Amino acid sequence: MNLLDLIHRTPVPAPWSEGEKIPWSDPAFSERMLREHLSQEHDAASRRSFIIDQHVDWIYRELLGGNPTRVLDLGCGPGLYTSRLARLGHCCVGVDYGPASVRYARETATRERLACTYIEEDVRRAEVGTGFGLVMMLFGEFNVFSPADVDALLNKAHAALAPDGWLLLEPHTFAAVREEGLRPCRWSSHEQGLFSERPHLYLEENFWDEAQRVATTRYYIVDAATGQVTRHAAHMQAYTSDEYSALLRAHGFVGVRLYPSLGGQMQEGLLAIAAQKRAGAEQG
């Protein structure tokens, strides 16, 4: 699009109408994002190593009772959780559609001979298999899927789990999603950045749809040399704690437990939810 298209944009976006997410699966973007995942300066794409160590320790000791199992990580990024869990004796399958992240995860597994397999694909389409003792989706990605996708993903997770297996989610709190949608517009200029290697303007616009309880973020990347505008958008669905519990129960999970954070490591705006597939439940 060009600058005039930007000026003539729809003033207020309809929830789920403006595209999916930031371009995780774009190869060049994924290379740049990998640097952010691995950075020990911030917790933007993945948490820093010492925090992930504590999360993994909690998953292994508290959630799984110290028993190695088969783990499926949906949206595994560079395999920072799966690699650690494999070092503790778990067999892991990671799914992610970011090519640089999956390459990094596979290289780690090969170098260390870890029992990890990675599938480079959209989690909504990937064939993940069955018999897992733990299926997880961490670091807020849950809310970026539409309600229809969430429904299908929870069915997929349920089918992938062995009876008594655990589902572990780390979604956003209702307040955090709402706050995101109510954030004022902002802009910045960059010689290079996550969204482009070239000099550009970064424009961000946020919206909160009170009726559907959806936050929308629009990103406009304006190339300094050409004036061309690249547009991305992401939506986030807000759920209350009761709604999360009801959603999991409706998908056949029992014993839903809500934690104020994953592994006691406070992360503003996120909570952790664990639930089990009922023993004797049909494998889908």
Ligand X SMILES: C[S@@+](CC[C@H](N)C(=O)[O-])C[C@H]1O[C@@H](n2cnc3c(N)ncnc32)[C@H](O)[C@@H]1O
What is the binding site for ligand X (CB under 6 A)? 21, 24, 45-46, 75-77, 80, 95-98, 101, 122-124, 138-139, 141
> Which residue, 95 or 271, is less far from ligand X as judged by CB?
95
**Which residues have CB under 8 Å from 136's CB, separation 6+?**
59, 71, 72, 73, 74, 81, 167, 168, 169, 170
Q: What is the DSSP letter of 211?
A: T
* Ordered DSSP codes for 215-261: EEEEEEEEETTT--EEEEEEEEE---HHHHHHHHHHTTEEEEEEESS
> Which residue, 146 or 230, is less far from ligand X as judged by CB?
146
Contacts 24+ apart (CB under 8 A), 152-158: 152/124, 153/74, 153/123, 153/124, 154/247, 154/248, 154/251, 154/253, 155/251, 155/284, 156/123, 156/124, 156/128, 157/72, 157/74, 157/251, 158/251, 158/252, 158/253, 158/277, 158/281, 158/284
> For the chain, what is the radius of gyration of the CA atoms?
19
Minimum distance of ligand X from residue 76's CB (angstroms): 6
> Which residue, 24 or 132, is less far from ligand X as judged by CB?
24
> Which residue, 6 or 38, is less far from ligand X as judged by CB?
38
> Which residue, 96 or 229, is less far from ligand X as judged by CB?
96
> Which residue, 122 or 209, is less far from ligand X as judged by CB?
122
Q: What is the largest CA-CA distance in the chain?
A: 62
Minimum distance of ligand X from residue 19's CB (angstroms): 13
Bridge partners, residue 41, by sequence: none
Distance between alpha carbon 175 and the CA centroid of its chain, in Å?
18
Minimum distance of ligand X from residue 73's CB (angstroms): 7
> Which residue, 149 or 164, is less far from ligand X as judged by CB?
149
